[in-house]
Each structure stands twice: as C-alpha cells, then as structure tokens.
Amino acid sequence: MKLLFILFFGIIPTSLIWSDNYNEAQQQAKITHKNILINFSGSDWCIPCIRLRKEIFESAIFQDYAADKLLLVRADFPRQKKNRLSIDQVKRNEALAEQYNPDGKFPYTLLLDENGKILKSWDGYPNITAERFVKEVSTK
C-alpha cells in the first residue's frame, strides 16, 4: 500500500516519530536495545538542515530502516516567532546541546548506543544519498 501511495502521489508519507525528549528516548533504548539518532536542527532557518530532513530523513529507505532499528530525537532550534518552542523544550534542547553539541553545529547528527556513547557523527549535511546514509548508520 505504501508503495502504491508513493507511486500515485509521488510523495512519501512521513510515518516516523521524532521525539523531542532525549531522556525518554534513552530509557526506551535501554528497554529495546536500539540505537538513538539525534539530529540538531534549525528547522526554519538552516538550509542544510532542511535539505537533510527532506532528502534523507523523509526518504523511503531511511524511514523503512529507522522504523524498526532506531529511536529518533530532534533537537530543534528555530528562530521564527511562529515556530517558538516551549520554555521546557528549549531547556531540554539546550541541555542536550551542552552534552553532545557544545560548538553549536547545524545540522549535526549523532548515532548513540543505548548508554549515550557516540558511535558515529555527521557534521553538516552529509552530501551522500539516503541509501548511503542508511548504510553508514547500520554499520556501526
């Protein structure tokens, strides 16, 4: 059905859920033994961030892989007033950035194990296909 939808409408349904709470994702990772993919993004101002989301994270190949294999966390830092986050969310994102992205890189993507150990990182737009990105994520 998903393939028919893609062929007919020419778009990929976005079915993946990106958490905005790393602590909850890490608790879930310890139960499921899945890796965590964290994406630091400026969703409304960072062109490479938007490109990464559209070309890789919203691709069918990434979504199919991530649905069963990863827990996804997005730490977003929007600038436009209409996209303003709650104070609590801003605090969570800033704490996560202090721990994993102290230099404030955007986009910055990390693959972590269930204990928070960094397995891989991508600084900026990876400039590879979604297929290659999934291969890099899956060969930890």
Task: Give residue-wise pLDDT tens across range 66-76.
Answer: 999 999 999 99
Interatomic CA distance for residues 43 and 41, integer angstroms: 5
DSSP-assigned states of every residue in 77-109:
---SGGGPPPHHHHHHHHHHHHHH-TT--SSEE
pLDDT tens sequence across 81-136: 999 999 999 999 999 999 999 999 999 999 999 999 999 999 999 999 999 999 99
Would you state the pLDDT for residue 87? 97
